Each structure stands twice: as C-alpha cells, then as structure tokens.
C-alpha cells in the first residue's frame, strides 16, 4: 500500500490519481469520477462508493480482487457489524422474504454503499489534505 499512502501524502491532482487507478486496472467509471475531482483528497473524501474504495485499497496493496469481490467483502463487514439485511443486494439469500409479520428493516443498497464509504474513510483516515497543504 506504499504507493497509495504516497498518493495520500502528496495529494496529486485528479488526473494524476486517475492515471494511478488506470495502472492498477480500476473500472472506467471510477477513473472518470476521480478525473472530475480536483485532487486525491477531494476524490477520497467525497466518494460514496465503498466498493470502489475497498477495491482501490486492496489493489494498491497488491491484492488483485475484482469489484464483485470488493462488494462481497463490504457485505461481510456490514453483516459482521450486526446490521440489518440489505435490499437490492446481489446476495439474494441475504434479503429477507417479503411477507406479513416480517418487520426486519431492510437497507437500500445505495445507502449501504454510502455508509460503507464513510466507514472506510474512518478506518483508513486520510485527512483533508487540501486544507493542510493549501
């Protein structure tokens, strides 16, 4: 993860960060998102895709997981924390049966992604480098 940590310290432009993501074979959608940001700090702090963040952290650490595997890891982390079932998950067996008397709350998958992005930012805390540098 050394290269990724160096990116966090140097706070490269969005274009430089995007070039790094392309070098570790991250999806075009994530690269385009990063290119739309001014710098690494803004891209990391504004990201609402926990799967992208975990995917990038793992790839930067040499673990060649794919986006589906990153999502599976996020879902496992989510359930390990005792959270309610997800709605719209690829894990159909994890979604409770609809029916009368079922009062189990169901979390929207987009809300889950956003919540996990916040969790990842807390766990891998890269400060708002733009405010530190600028």
Domain-embedded: residue 134: no
Helix (H/G/I), strand (E/B), else coil: 87: strand
What does the alpha-carbon distance between residue 129 and residue 62 come to, in Å, rounded to a whole number? 24
Domain enclosing residue 39, as ranges: 2-127
Q: What is the pLDDT of residues 88-130, one digit of tens each?
A: 544 433 444 454 454 455 667 778 788 888 877 777 666 544 4
Q: Please, are residues 106 and 84 in contact by the beta-carbon 8 Å criterion?
A: yes
Domain-embedded: residue 132: no
If 0-12 CB within 10 Å is exposed, 13-18 middle and 19+ buried, where does residue 78 land?
buried
Domain-embedded: residue 92: yes
User: Tokens 């805390």 appear where?
Assistant: 125
What does the alpha-carbon distance between residue 30 and residue 55 come to, in Å, rounded to a whole number? 10
Structural domains of the chain, count: 1
Q: What is the pLDDT of residues 2-35, one digit of tens each?
A: 466 676 678 889 999 999 889 888 889 999 999 9
């Amino acid at each position: 993860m050394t290269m990724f940590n160096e990116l966090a310290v140097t706070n490269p432009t969005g274009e430089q960060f995007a070039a790094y993501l392309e070098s570790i074979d991250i999806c075009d959608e994530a690269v385009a998102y990063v290119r739309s940001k001014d710098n690494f700090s803004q891209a990391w702090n504004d990201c609402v895709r926990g799967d992208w963040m975990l995917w990038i952290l793992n790839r930067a650490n040499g673990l060649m997981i794919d986006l589906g595997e990153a999502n599976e890891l996020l879902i496992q982390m989510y359930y390990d924390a005792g959270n309610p079932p997800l709605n719209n998950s690829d894990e159909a067996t994890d979604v409770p049966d609809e029916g009368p008397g079922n009062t189990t709350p169901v979390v929207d998958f987009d809300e889950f992604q956003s919540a996990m992005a916040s969790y990842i930012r807390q766990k891998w805390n890269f400060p708002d480098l733009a405010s530190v540098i600028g």
